[in-house]
Amino acid sequence: MPVRATLKVLAGCLVGVLCAGGVARAQEAPLDPLTATEIETTFQVLDASGRVPQGAFFPIVSLNEPPKSDVLAWSPGHALRREAFAQVYDRPANRLYEAVVDLRAKRLLSFVERPGAQPAVFDDEYSAADVAVRADPRWRRAMARRGIDADDVFLDVWAAGDVGLPRGAEHTRLLRALSFYAGGLPNPYDRPIEGVMVTVDANRMRVIDVLDTGPRPVNRTATDVTARPGPGLAPLIVTQPDGPGFQIHGSDVSWQGWHFRVGFNPREGVVLYEVGHERDGRMRPIIYRLALDEIYVPYALPDPTWSWRSALDVGEYNLGQFLEELQPGVDVPTNAVFLDEATPSDHGSRGDPPAIPLHHGVALYERDTGMLLDRTDPATGERLVQPGRELVVTSSMVNGNYTYAVDYVFRLDGGLDVLAGATGTLLTRGVATKSIGDAFGTLVAPSIAAPSHQHFFNFRVDFDVDGVRNRLIQADTRTVPSVAGNGFDADESVVSREGFRDADPLADRRWVVESTTERGALGNPTAYELEPLVSTPPYSQASYPPLQHAAFAQHALWATRYADDQLSAVGDHPNQGAAGDGLPADVADRANIDGRDLVVWYTAGFTHEPTVEEYPVMTRETVGFSLRPDGFFDHNPML
Ligand SMILES: [Cu+2]
């Protein structure tokens, strides 16, 4: 998949807007993301330690988050540890090390080898694998067989996945490459060269296998992708003459009672910390940490050049580093405020620069959502009506043909919507049929078919509803026998141990996280409810190795007892990682979570049966879930 996007916005600015600078990060609070300076310091300390092998790569450098208990005990003005986590990868030796650096003392705290573990695909590999594939005579023959000049090909480098790996794969770092016809035309993703799959030994950086299942038609024409907002579309300019209605100090945001911190790391992208609500000077916690921790995208086509395609976009690629530069008037409204982030060069201090700026990587803006509540007094006709307003925290991350957008939408009524969207180019293939239907997918253009696939988004939600002691409840709606037949009721059951639960839209299934220490004015436990929006089960067989690996996608909801080191549904090292890492291991001891600090892992997803209209670019498809107060407040907080 690919290289960091260089900014060329095809749509252009709809209105002439100022491109003001974003808010540069300055480290103030314990969970603030690493600054560019801190990334450089990390590299300096590692260089000086004498532990880093010559020419090593640095697939990730990110904040080593302090233990939750330390953060909860922290108050502004007090010093808390400030540490960086860094991966160091010796490519020829296939050895991964993980280091922790004390940024204040500028000292190496630990440097540990992780035998058998692989880092995510890193920047250098996209170009190095490209060179290796081009030099391989088998791949060149495959192109020649199709009458294609090697110089006209774009190579798309992927993590190797879990299917059809060569013997001895567990001792070798692997990459795979797909071929597309570029030929000097825009966007090679429109022109797949079907039937060719290349496997690369990334330690020696040479091709070890080329699978060629035979030529199929290759589109060699440019696709007309002129975006048409249309000359008839009237200007729409959002202005806030007094500035934004939210306050932002460093990473700390407050708006209409809401408080939270906007964090970032190069793996997950935006992370929200310490989400809470304040009323009458009392701050009440709701969520300690919230992030999109993994995406899983399996393709349905039973063909050996496709069956391995099952990206784990977050953990196999460090998706967060691909934050797109957001444009006012295009990605976000013109009243948006931006945050700038920084991500490490995989070349460390040899990088130019060592810390790569991600300008306007995150945006916050308020939007008008029309009427939020309305009621009319039947006697006087008097209306109580209130317009809706939302605060959106958004970012977009580009990984190859897809762009993933994550929105956190804060509402005046205490609700929070968590949304993931997918847009971009469908992964397509050349087919011999010109105009009839296509098994396992859709014919989207003459001789081009888009295979069916699914997108699963796992969000890790570390609830702290009025404190760390919480209870998880599953609520189904059931028919209750009654004389007239009208009876139905909510059937609630406590999820008292670690494990998983399935979605059940027919039962209107939802989950409630309540405090076991606080009660509302009516004696009820204070609580927040998780309501599924769009979701889908996986349709591949249970035995499909990528689904075994992405076990989180097998069930809509998982619950674990809080642990500082459990941040990923697929574990820390999913690239060439083992099935069973992450959630299956985390819940294995079925620990008691009732009245404890619990974490909810929810998967939203959609099944993508492509349509003709989605070629060559699909409009954004959004899925997610809603969090709604359920007795958390004594009345609607906007009244
Ligand atoms: Cu899709």
**CA 591, CA 58: separation in Å to the nearest integer?**
36
Sheet holding 441-445, edge to edge: 429-430, 448-451, 441-445
User: Measured in angstroms, how far is the CA atom of residue 451 from the centroid of ligand 1?
Assistant: 9
pLDDT at 188 over 50: yes
pLDDT at 320 over 50: yes
User: Measured in angstroms, how far is the CA atom of residue 317 from the centroid of ligand 1?
Assistant: 18
Band (115; pLDDT cuts 50, 70, 90): very high
User: Measured in angstroms, how far is the CA atom of residue 83 from the centroid of ligand 1?
Assistant: 38
Residue after which a domain boundary falls, among 184, 212, 240: 212
Residue after which a domain boundary falls, among 212, 233, 259: 212
User: Measured in angstroms, how far is the CA atom of residue 402 from the centroid of ligand 1?
Assistant: 8
| Residue 24, domain member (yes or no) | yes
pLDDT of residue 2: 55
Question: Are residues 70 and 205 located together in one domain of the fold?
Answer: no
Question: Are residues 101 and 137 located together in one domain of the fold?
Answer: no
| Residue 282, domain member (yes or no) | yes
Task: Print the domain residue range for 168.
Answer: 123-212
User: Measured in angstroms, how far is the CA atom of residue 435 from the centroid of ligand 1?
Assistant: 22
User: Measured in angstroms, how far is the CA atom of residue 65 from the centroid of ligand 1?
Assistant: 33
User: Measured in angstroms, how far is the CA atom of residue 358 from the centroid of ligand 1?
Assistant: 26
User: Measured in angstroms, how far is the CA atom of residue 292 from the centroid of ligand 1?
Assistant: 17
pLDDT of residue 280: 87
pLDDT of residue 168: 83
The answer to whether 501 and 555 have CB atoms below 8 angstroms apart is yes
Question: Are residues 324 and 394 located together in one domain of the fold?
Answer: yes
Q: What CATH number does the domain containing 288 carry?
A: 2.70.98.20
pLDDT digits (tens, 9 = 90+) for 580-618: 999 999 999 999 999 999 999 999 999 999 999 999 999
User: Measured in angstroms, how far is the CA atom of residue 313 from the centroid of ligand 1?
Assistant: 13
* Average of per-residue pLDDT across 354-378: 97
* Average of per-residue pLDDT across 270-285: 96
pLDDT at 187 over 60: yes
User: Measured in angstroms, how far is the CA atom of residue 215 from the centroid of ligand 1?
Assistant: 25
pLDDT at 236 over 70: yes
The least confident of 90-94, 280-284, 391-395, 474-478 is: 280-284
User: Measured in angstroms, how far is the CA atom of residue 189 from the centroid of ligand 1?
Assistant: 14
pLDDT at 225 over 80: no
pLDDT digits (tens, 9 = 90+) for 519-577: 999 999 999 999 999 889 999 999 999 999 999 999 999 999 999 999 999 999 999 99
DSSP of 418-480:
EEEEEEE----EE-S-SSS-BTTEEEEETTEEEE-EEEEEEEEEEE-TTSS-EEEEEEEEEE-
**CA 628, CA 318: separation in Å to the nearest integer?**
31
Question: Are residues 167 and 283 located together in one domain of the fold?
Answer: no
Question: Are residues 510 and 548 located together in one domain of the fold?
Answer: yes
In order of 3, 64, 514, the CA distances from 478 in angstroms are: 50, 46, 21
Question: Are residues 463 and 586 located together in one domain of the fold?
Answer: yes
Indicate the length of the chain as a whole number. 639
| Residue 243, domain member (yes or no) | no
Question: Are residues 117 and 135 located together in one domain of the fold?
Answer: no
User: Measured in angstroms, how far is the CA atom of residue 429 from the centroid of ligand 1?
Assistant: 14
Pairing mode, if any, of strands 448-451 and 429-430?
A: antiparallel
User: Measured in angstroms, how far is the CA atom of residue 458 from the centroid of ligand 1?
Assistant: 16
pLDDT of residue 602: 98
User: Measured in angstroms, how far is the CA atom of residue 180 from the centroid of ligand 1?
Assistant: 18
| Residue 486, domain member (yes or no) | yes
User: Measured in angstroms, how far is the CA atom of residue 401 from the centroid of ligand 1?
Assistant: 10
User: Measured in angstroms, how far is the CA atom of residue 425 from the centroid of ligand 1?
Assistant: 8
Question: Are residues 284 and 380 located together in one domain of the fold?
Answer: yes
User: Measured in angstroms, how far is the CA atom of residue 130 from the centroid of ligand 1?
Assistant: 25
User: Measured in angstroms, how far is the CA atom of residue 327 from the centroid of ligand 1?
Assistant: 24
User: Measured in angstroms, how far is the CA atom of residue 308 from the centroid of ligand 1?
Assistant: 16
User: Measured in angstroms, how far is the CA atom of residue 225 from the centroid of ligand 1?
Assistant: 18
CA-based nearest residue to 509, from 557, 458, 455, 561: 557
* Average of per-residue pLDDT across 611-630: 96
Question: Are residues 29 and 103 located together in one domain of the fold?
Answer: yes
> Identity (one letter) of the amino acid at 159?
A
User: Measured in angstroms, how far is the CA atom of residue 311 from the centroid of ligand 1?
Assistant: 12
| Residue 223, domain member (yes or no) | no
Band (224; pLDDT cuts 50, 70, 90): confident
pLDDT of residue 78: 85
Question: Are residues 405 and 514 located together in one domain of the fold?
Answer: yes
Three-state DSSP string of 135-157:
CCHHHHHHHHHCCCCHHHEEEEE
| Residue 261, domain member (yes or no) | yes
| Residue 332, domain member (yes or no) | yes
pLDDT of residue 407: 98
User: Measured in angstroms, how far is the CA atom of residue 453 from the centroid of ligand 1?
Assistant: 6
Residue after which a domain boundary falls, among 192, 212, 232: 212
User: Measured in angstroms, how far is the CA atom of residue 122 from the centroid of ligand 1?
Assistant: 24
pLDDT of residue 436: 72
User: Measured in angstroms, how far is the CA atom of residue 343 from the centroid of ligand 1?
Assistant: 27
Question: Are residues 288 and 386 located together in one domain of the fold?
Answer: yes
Q: What CATH number does the domain containing 176 carry?
A: 3.10.450.40
User: Measured in angstroms, how far is the CA atom of residue 636 from the centroid of ligand 1?
Assistant: 38
User: Measured in angstroms, how far is the CA atom of residue 324 from the centroid of ligand 1?
Assistant: 19
| CA contacts within 13 A on the Cβ side of 139 | 28
pLDDT at 20 over 50: no
pLDDT of residue 232: 80
| Residue 527: partners with Cβ closer than 8 Å, 6 or more residues away | 465, 512, 513, 514, 515, 629, 630, 631, 632
User: Measured in angstroms, how far is the CA atom of residue 276 from the centroid of ligand 1?
Assistant: 34
User: Measured in angstroms, how far is the CA atom of residue 595 from the centroid of ligand 1?
Assistant: 39
Helix (H), strand (E) at residue 363: strand 355-376
User: Measured in angstroms, how far is the CA atom of residue 138 from the centroid of ligand 1?
Assistant: 31
Band (3; pLDDT cuts 50, 70, 90): low
User: Measured in angstroms, how far is the CA atom of residue 415 from the centroid of ligand 1?
Assistant: 28
**CA 263, CA 33: separation in Å to the nearest integer?**
6
Place of tokens 């979605």: 503
User: Measured in angstroms, how far is the CA atom of residue 422 from the centroid of ligand 1?
Assistant: 7
User: Measured in angstroms, how far is the CA atom of residue 37 from the centroid of ligand 1?
Assistant: 38
The least confident of 84-93, 222-231, 373-382, 511-520 is: 222-231
Question: Are residues 74 and 39 located together in one domain of the fold?
Answer: yes
* Average of per-residue pLDDT across 431-443: 83
What pTM was computed for the model? 0.95
How many domains is the chain built from?
A: 2
| Residue 161: partners with Cβ closer than 8 Å, 6 or more residues away | 176, 308, 309, 310, 311, 546
The least confident of 2-16, 75-89, 330-344 is: 2-16
pLDDT digits (tens, 9 = 90+) for 457-473: 999 999 999 999 999 99
pLDDT of residue 79: 82
Rounded to the nearest integer, the mean pLDDT of the chain is 94
User: Measured in angstroms, how far is the CA atom of residue 398 from the centroid of ligand 1?
Assistant: 14
pLDDT of residue 223: 85
* Average of per-residue pLDDT across 198-207: 98
pLDDT of residue 23: 63
Band (76; pLDDT cuts 50, 70, 90): confident
Band (17; pLDDT cuts 50, 70, 90): very low
| Residue 230, domain member (yes or no) | no
pLDDT at 356 over 70: yes
User: Measured in angstroms, how far is the CA atom of residue 431 from the centroid of ligand 1?
Assistant: 19
Percent with pLDDT over 90 in the chain: 89
Place of tokens 């969207």: 421
pLDDT digits (tens, 9 = 90+) for 476-492: 999 999 999 999 999 99
User: Measured in angstroms, how far is the CA atom of residue 534 from the centroid of ligand 1?
Assistant: 14
User: Measured in angstroms, how far is the CA atom of residue 574 from the centroid of ligand 1?
Assistant: 21
User: Measured in angstroms, how far is the CA atom of residue 537 from the centroid of ligand 1?
Assistant: 15
* Average of per-residue pLDDT across 43-62: 98
User: Measured in angstroms, how far is the CA atom of residue 480 from the centroid of ligand 1?
Assistant: 40
User: Measured in angstroms, how far is the CA atom of residue 555 from the centroid of ligand 1?
Assistant: 20
